[in-house]
């Protein structure tokens, strides 16, 4: 399968998981989804990552996001590992972990990078919107744990763009100024959407307060 690109439809699949068989598109429903792979169960960085995801459950839910993890380990190993994550990370893993022992999903989502490892999945993340469109991706090596606050920040940025036609500048965090998307040029719509106005540093660089604050 060719590499998934932004704007592609996230491939549908049916696969076993720690919460039983999952038909992906049906499971996702009308939610956003963060599908993220980890190299292997019972490894240190992965244990902290899944613990952190569980701890942030309220933050994902508040944004309408369902997390789902995946590795090529089998269901029984996931079950044993979940108990370990809960104990060592002082949390409750209540999202599914796909058991992709036959690599069906790993191949669909290009999660095994043979020049990094012939057997383990890399640390990829797919941000998938309610229309099942891949909106953002990232990939880290096994040795680098992901920043889960950054995943939430990306979701916030994507959702702000959808709802308010703004983009988020470098190092933006929730509450900071944003920029009006270049495609929005209609004066009436600009006035309606941005009643507080904007600072046109350049015609293409229109800075405005975050509209939903
Ligand atoms: C880890 O999760 O700690 C890990 C997994 C595979 C390779 C290196 C580190």
pLDDT class of 165 with cuts at 50, 70, 90: very high
Provide the token pair at 88. Answer: 């060592």
Q: Which of 45, 111, 121, 144 to mutate to test the pocket of ligand 1 (most atoms within 8 A of CB)?
A: 45
Whether residue 111 is predicted with pLDDT greater than 80 in this model: the reply is: yes
Torsion over CA of 92, 96, 101 and 105, rounded to 10 degrees?
A: -140
Give yes or no for residue 3 having a pLDDT over 80. Answer: yes
The mean pLDDT value for 35-60 works out to 98
pLDDT band at 5 (very low <50, low <70, confident <90, very high): very high
CA of 141 to the centre of ligand 1 (A): 9
As a CATH number, domain 14-146 is 3.40.30.10
Mean pLDDT, range 24-36, rounded to an integer: 98
Distances (CA, A) of 141 to 19, 117, 120, 158: 27, 10, 11, 24
Please say if the pLDDT value at position 78 is more than 70.
Answer: yes
Q: Is 97 helix (H, G, I), strand (E, B) or coil?
A: strand
CA separation for the pair 17, 110 (Å, rounded): 19
Does position 162 have pLDDT exceeding 60, yes or no?
A: yes
Mapping DSSP to helix (H, G, I), strand (E, B) and coil, where does residue 180 land?
strand
Helix (H/G/I), strand (E/B), else coil: 22: strand
pLDDT band at 181 (very low <50, low <70, confident <90, very high): very high
Delimit the CATH 3.40.30.10 region(s) of the chain: 14-146
Mean of all residue pLDDT scores within the chain: 97
Say yes or no to pLDDT of 83 above 70.
Answer: yes
> In testing the pocket of ligand 1, which one of 36, 38, 41, 46 has its CB within 8 Å of the most ligand atoms?
46
Whether the pTM exceeds 0.75: the reply is: yes
């Amino acid at each position: 399968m060719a590499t998934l690109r932004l704007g592609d439809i996230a491939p549908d699949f049916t696969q076993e998981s720690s919460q039983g068989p999952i038909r992906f598109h049906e499971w996702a429903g009308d939610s956003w989804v963060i599908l993220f792979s980890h190299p292997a169960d019972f490894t240190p960085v992965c244990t902290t990552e899944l613990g952190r995801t569980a701890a942030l459950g309220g933050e994902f839910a508040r944004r309408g996001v369902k997390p789902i993890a995946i590795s090529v380990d089998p269901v029984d190993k996931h079950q044993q590992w979940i108990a370990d994550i809960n104990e060592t990370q002082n949390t409750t893993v209540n999202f599914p972990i796909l058991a992709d022992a036959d690599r069906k999903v790993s191949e669909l989502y290009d999660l095994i990078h043979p020049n990094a490892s012939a057997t383990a999945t890399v640390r990829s993340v797919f941000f998938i919107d309610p229309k099942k469109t891949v909106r953002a991706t990232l990939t880290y090596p096994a040795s680098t744990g992901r920043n889960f606050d950054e995943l939430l920040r990306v979701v916030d940025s994507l959702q702000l763009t959808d709802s308010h036609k703004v983009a988020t500048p470098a190092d933006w965090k929730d509450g900071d100024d944003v920029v009006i998307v270049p495609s929005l040029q209609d004066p009436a719509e600009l006035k309606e959407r941005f009643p507080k106005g904007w600072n046109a540093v350049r015609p293409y660089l229109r800075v405005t307060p975050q509209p939903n604050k």
